[in-house]
């Protein structure tokens, strides 16, 4: 996929100029980056499976982010 992006200047899946990143995000890294660059309060909004809700709620607490969860 990277070779296609370099040759055609667009992602093979989306057609956009940025590459698609597959797999699950490294949430601890994402939260740390946000924590170090934030300029105010951070609130995480989440709707989805309980396993990920628990992980994001825990990380939100560790970084003193507000956490909101909805279940539809």
Quick one: tokens of 35? 């924590």
Give pLDDT, residue 13: 79
**Reported pTM:** 0.72
Q: How confident is the model at residue 53 (pLDDT cuts 50, 70, 90)?
A: very high
Band (pLDDT 50/70/90 cuts) for residue 44 is very high
Dihedral sign, Cα of residue 42, residue 43, residue 49, residue 55: positive
């Amino acid at each position: 996929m990277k070779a296609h992006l370099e040759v055609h200047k667009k992602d093979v899946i989306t057609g956009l100029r940025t590459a698609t990143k597959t797999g699950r995000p490294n949430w601890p890294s994402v939260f740390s980056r946000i924590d170090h660059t934030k300029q105010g309060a951070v609130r995480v909004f989440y709707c989805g499976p309980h396993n990920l809700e628990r992980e994001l709620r825990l990380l939100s607490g560790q970084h003193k982010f507000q956490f909101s969860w909805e279940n539809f």
